[in-house]
Amino acid sequence: MKAVHLPIPGLMLLEPTVHHDERGFLYESFNQRTFNEATGTHYQFVQDNHTHSAKGVLRGMHYQTQQPQGKLVRVVRGAVYDVVVDIRRDSPAFGQWYGLTLSESSCTQLWIPPGLAHGFLTLSDGAELLYKMTDYYAPQHEACLAWNDPAVGIVWPLQQHGIAQPMLSAKDQVGKALHEV
Protein backbone atom coordinates (compact mmCIF):
# COMPACT_ATOMS: atom_id res chain seq x y z
CA MET A 1 0.00 0.00 0.00
CA LYS A 2 1.25 3.43 -0.95
CA ALA A 3 0.27 6.53 1.05
CA VAL A 4 0.11 9.83 -0.84
CA HIS A 5 0.17 12.85 1.47
CA LEU A 6 -2.39 15.49 0.49
CA PRO A 7 -2.31 19.26 1.20
CA ILE A 8 -4.15 19.08 4.54
CA PRO A 9 -1.95 17.74 7.37
CA GLY A 10 -2.67 14.06 8.05
CA LEU A 11 -4.96 13.61 5.03
CA MET A 12 -3.78 10.77 2.78
CA LEU A 13 -4.83 8.88 -0.32
CA LEU A 14 -4.07 5.18 0.11
CA GLU A 15 -3.34 3.18 -3.02
CA PRO A 16 -3.49 -0.58 -2.50
CA THR A 17 -1.69 -3.15 -4.59
CA VAL A 18 -4.37 -4.51 -6.91
CA HIS A 19 -3.88 -7.90 -8.58
CA HIS A 20 -5.71 -8.09 -11.93
CA ASP A 21 -6.15 -11.05 -14.24
CA GLU A 22 -8.75 -12.32 -16.71
CA ARG A 23 -11.08 -13.24 -13.83
CA GLY A 24 -11.14 -9.76 -12.30
CA PHE A 25 -9.12 -8.34 -9.41
CA LEU A 26 -8.16 -8.91 -5.79
CA TYR A 27 -6.73 -6.53 -3.24
CA GLU A 28 -6.38 -6.39 0.49
CA SER A 29 -8.82 -3.64 1.45
CA PHE A 30 -7.64 -3.40 5.05
CA ASN A 31 -4.80 -4.70 7.18
CA GLN A 32 -4.17 -2.93 10.51
CA ARG A 33 -0.38 -3.38 10.39
CA THR A 34 -0.13 -2.21 6.77
CA PHE A 35 -2.38 0.80 7.50
CA ASN A 36 -0.27 1.81 10.52
CA GLU A 37 2.97 1.50 8.54
CA ALA A 38 1.64 3.40 5.51
CA THR A 39 0.11 6.26 7.51
CA GLY A 40 2.55 6.41 10.43
CA THR A 41 -0.43 6.31 12.81
CA HIS A 42 -1.70 3.87 15.40
CA TYR A 43 -5.44 4.37 15.17
CA GLN A 44 -7.72 1.42 15.82
CA PHE A 45 -11.06 1.15 14.03
CA VAL A 46 -14.17 0.46 16.11
CA GLN A 47 -17.07 0.83 13.67
CA ASP A 48 -17.80 0.22 9.98
CA ASN A 49 -20.46 2.16 8.07
CA HIS A 50 -21.95 1.46 4.64
CA THR A 51 -23.90 4.11 2.74
CA HIS A 52 -25.78 4.16 -0.55
CA SER A 53 -26.66 7.42 -2.29
CA ALA A 54 -28.44 8.34 -5.52
CA LYS A 55 -26.90 10.68 -8.09
CA GLY A 56 -26.87 14.27 -6.90
CA VAL A 57 -27.02 13.45 -3.18
CA LEU A 58 -24.67 15.64 -1.18
CA ARG A 59 -23.89 14.39 2.32
CA GLY A 60 -21.90 16.72 4.52
CA MET A 61 -20.00 18.38 5.87
CA HIS A 62 -20.17 16.14 8.96
CA TYR A 63 -18.06 15.96 12.11
CA GLN A 64 -18.41 15.27 15.83
CA THR A 65 -17.65 18.04 18.36
CA GLN A 66 -16.55 15.40 20.88
CA GLN A 67 -15.30 11.89 20.10
CA PRO A 68 -13.97 13.09 16.72
CA GLN A 69 -13.81 10.26 14.22
CA GLY A 70 -10.99 9.38 11.89
CA LYS A 71 -12.41 7.80 8.73
CA LEU A 72 -11.00 5.43 6.15
CA VAL A 73 -13.34 5.84 3.16
CA ARG A 74 -13.61 3.85 -0.05
CA VAL A 75 -16.13 3.63 -2.86
CA VAL A 76 -17.21 0.10 -3.78
CA ARG A 77 -19.80 1.11 -6.40
CA GLY A 78 -20.02 4.24 -8.50
CA ALA A 79 -18.15 7.51 -8.03
CA VAL A 80 -18.25 10.46 -5.65
CA TYR A 81 -16.55 13.80 -5.25
CA ASP A 82 -15.20 13.48 -1.72
CA VAL A 83 -14.38 16.63 0.27
CA VAL A 84 -12.80 17.41 3.63
CA VAL A 85 -12.44 20.72 5.47
CA ASP A 86 -9.85 21.21 8.20
CA ILE A 87 -11.75 22.48 11.25
CA ARG A 88 -8.89 21.97 13.72
CA ARG A 89 -8.38 25.47 15.17
CA ASP A 90 -4.68 24.82 15.86
CA SER A 91 -3.97 23.52 12.34
CA PRO A 92 -2.02 25.61 9.81
CA ALA A 93 -4.66 24.47 7.29
CA PHE A 94 -7.68 25.59 9.37
CA GLY A 95 -10.58 26.43 7.05
CA GLN A 96 -8.95 24.89 3.98
CA TRP A 97 -10.71 22.25 1.93
CA TYR A 98 -9.56 19.47 -0.35
CA GLY A 99 -11.62 17.43 -2.79
CA LEU A 100 -11.02 14.50 -5.11
CA THR A 101 -12.98 11.87 -7.00
CA LEU A 102 -13.13 8.41 -5.47
CA SER A 103 -14.52 5.57 -7.56
CA GLU A 104 -14.91 1.83 -7.60
CA SER A 105 -12.45 1.54 -10.48
CA SER A 106 -9.60 3.29 -8.65
CA CYS A 107 -9.72 1.08 -5.52
CA THR A 108 -8.13 3.98 -3.61
CA GLN A 109 -9.06 4.90 -0.07
CA LEU A 110 -9.05 8.26 1.68
CA TRP A 111 -7.67 8.47 5.22
CA ILE A 112 -9.36 11.38 7.00
CA PRO A 113 -7.83 12.06 10.41
CA PRO A 114 -10.00 13.16 13.35
CA GLY A 115 -10.80 16.87 13.33
CA LEU A 116 -11.84 17.23 9.70
CA ALA A 117 -15.37 17.79 8.42
CA HIS A 118 -16.27 15.31 5.69
CA GLY A 119 -18.80 15.11 2.90
CA PHE A 120 -19.35 13.90 -0.64
CA LEU A 121 -21.42 14.44 -3.76
CA THR A 122 -22.60 11.37 -5.69
CA LEU A 123 -21.52 11.70 -9.33
CA SER A 124 -22.71 8.36 -10.74
CA ASP A 125 -26.25 7.00 -10.96
CA GLY A 126 -25.68 5.56 -7.50
CA ALA A 127 -22.73 5.07 -5.19
CA GLU A 128 -21.89 2.93 -2.21
CA LEU A 129 -19.20 3.88 0.29
CA LEU A 130 -17.64 1.91 3.11
CA TYR A 131 -16.18 3.77 6.09
CA LYS A 132 -13.99 2.48 8.87
CA MET A 133 -14.28 4.75 11.94
CA THR A 134 -11.84 5.34 14.81
CA ASP A 135 -14.57 6.26 17.29
CA TYR A 136 -18.21 5.45 17.78
CA TYR A 137 -21.06 7.49 16.36
CA ALA A 138 -22.24 9.90 19.05
CA PRO A 139 -25.47 11.61 17.90
CA GLN A 140 -25.33 14.05 20.83
CA HIS A 141 -22.02 15.40 19.41
CA GLU A 142 -22.96 15.31 15.72
CA ALA A 143 -22.49 18.60 13.86
CA CYS A 144 -22.51 19.89 10.31
CA LEU A 145 -20.50 22.59 8.55
CA ALA A 146 -22.45 24.26 5.74
CA TRP A 147 -21.61 22.55 2.45
CA ASN A 148 -21.78 25.93 0.68
CA ASP A 149 -20.18 28.24 3.27
CA PRO A 150 -18.58 31.06 1.22
CA ALA A 151 -15.82 31.40 3.84
CA VAL A 152 -14.65 27.89 2.90
CA GLY A 153 -15.47 28.14 -0.82
CA ILE A 154 -15.78 24.47 -1.77
CA VAL A 155 -16.13 24.12 -5.54
CA TRP A 156 -18.56 21.24 -6.07
CA PRO A 157 -18.63 19.78 -9.62
CA LEU A 158 -22.40 20.03 -9.93
CA GLN A 159 -22.81 21.36 -13.48
CA GLN A 160 -20.04 19.14 -14.86
CA HIS A 161 -22.12 16.13 -13.86
CA GLY A 162 -25.55 17.43 -14.85
CA ILE A 163 -26.68 18.18 -11.30
CA ALA A 164 -28.79 21.33 -11.06
CA GLN A 165 -29.23 21.26 -7.26
CA PRO A 166 -27.79 18.76 -4.79
CA MET A 167 -30.20 16.67 -2.72
CA LEU A 168 -29.62 17.45 0.96
CA SER A 169 -30.94 16.05 4.22
CA ALA A 170 -32.74 18.42 6.59
CA LYS A 171 -29.66 18.64 8.85
CA ASP A 172 -27.33 19.31 5.91
CA GLN A 173 -29.53 22.22 4.82
CA VAL A 174 -28.81 24.04 8.08
CA GLY A 175 -25.07 23.47 8.50
CA LYS A 176 -23.05 26.01 10.48
CA ALA A 177 -20.68 28.59 9.07
CA LEU A 178 -16.95 28.05 9.61
CA HIS A 179 -16.74 30.84 12.20
CA GLU A 180 -19.35 28.96 14.29
CA VAL A 181 -17.43 25.69 14.27
Report pTM. Answer: 0.95
Q: Which residue numbers are catalytic?
A: 62, 131
pLDDT tens by residue, 161-180: 999 999 999 999 999 999 99
Please report which confidence band the pLDDT of residue 80 belongs to, taking 50, 70 and 90 as the band edges.
very high
pLDDT tens column, 6-23: 999 999 999 999 998 999
CB 93 within 8 A of CB 154: no
Alpha-carbon gap, residue 75 to 106, rounded angstroms: 9
The vertex-46 CA angle with 180 and 144, nearest 5°, equals: 15
Q: Which domain holds residue 21?
A: 2-180
| CATH assignment at residue 40 | 2.60.120.10
Q: How many domains does the structure of the chain reveal?
A: 1
